[in-house]
C-alpha cells in the first residue's frame, strides 16, 4: 500500500524558515517524480514544486521561487521542502504527492497524496 506521510509543519514567524518532510513507503521511491502541493481556503490547490526521479529536473511555482528548495533522499525514501523567508501568504496545508512517472512531464498526474502538514506563518 502506498503511503505518504508529511511532517514538519507548525507556527513560524514571517521571515523564518521551516523544513517539511515526506516519508514514502509502498512503492519504489527512487523511480518516481515527486511534488509538493499546497492548499488554502482562499486560493484552493496550488502546485509548489517538483523533483524528478534522478534529481535532474527541479521546478518551482513563481510564488516560491528563490525561497523554497525541494530535495529528496532516495536512501531514506524521503522528500523534503526547505522553506526560507516565509511570508503570511505561505500559510497553507502542504501535501506531498507522487507522480505516475519518473519525470514530471506533459500529461502526467498525481496518483497518491499524503494527508498534509499545516504551515502557519504569523507573528
Partner 1 sequence: DIQMTQSPSSLSASVGDRVTITCRASQSITSFLNWYQQKPGKAPILLIYAASNLQSGVPSRFSGRGSGTDFTLTISSLQPEDFATYYCQQSYSSPLYTFGQGTKLEIK
Q: Which is nearer to partner 1, 23 or 61 (CB)?
A: 61
Q: What is the DSSP letter of 106?
A: T
The Cα diameter of the chain in Å comes to 40
Q: Which is nearer to partner 1, 22 or 83 (CB)?
A: 22
Alpha-carbon distance of 26 to 36, in angstroms, equals 19
**CB 50 to partner 1: min, Å:** 4
Q: Does 113 bind partner 1 (CB under 8 A)?
A: yes
Alpha helix stretches (DSSP H) within the chain: none
Alpha-carbon distance of 78 to 98, in angstroms, equals 12
**CB 123 to partner 1: min, Å:** 27
Answer yes or no: are the C-beta atoms of 93 and 38 closer than 8 Å. Answer: yes
Cell numbers standing for residue 44: 484552493
| Per-residue binder mask for partner 1 (CB under 8 A), 24-63, x = binder | -----------x--------xxxx--x--------x-x--
Given the rule CB under 8 A, which of 9-17, 20-28, 73-81, 104-112 is the region that contacts partner 1? 104-112
**Number of residues engaging partner 1 in binding (CB under 8 A):** 23
Residue found under cell 527541479: 58
Q: Which residue ranges make up the site for partner 1 (CB under 8 A)?
A: 35, 44-47, 50, 59, 61, 95, 100, 104-116
Amino acid at each position: 500500500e502506498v503511503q505518504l506521510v508529511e511532517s514538519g509543519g507548525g507556527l513560524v514567524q514571517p521571515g523564518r524558515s521551516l523544513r517539511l518532510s515526506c516519508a514514502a513507503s509502498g512503492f519504489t521511491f527512487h523511480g518516481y517524480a515527486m511534488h509538493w502541493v499546497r492548499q488554502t481556503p482562499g486560493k484552493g490547490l496550488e502546485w509548489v514544486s517538483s523533483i524528478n526521479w534522478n534529481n535532474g529536473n527541479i521546478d518551482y511555482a513563481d510564488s516560491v521561487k528563490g525561497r523554497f528548495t525541494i530535495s529528496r533522499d532516495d536512501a531514506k525514501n524521503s522528500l523534503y521542502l526547505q522553506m526560507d523567508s516565509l511570508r503570511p501568504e505561505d500559510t497553507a496545508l502542504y501535501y506531498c504527492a507522487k507522480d505516475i512517472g519518473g519525470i514530471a512531464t506533459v500529461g502526467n498526474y498525481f496518483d497518491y497524496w499524503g494527508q498534509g502538514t499545516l504551515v502557519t506563518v504569523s507573528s
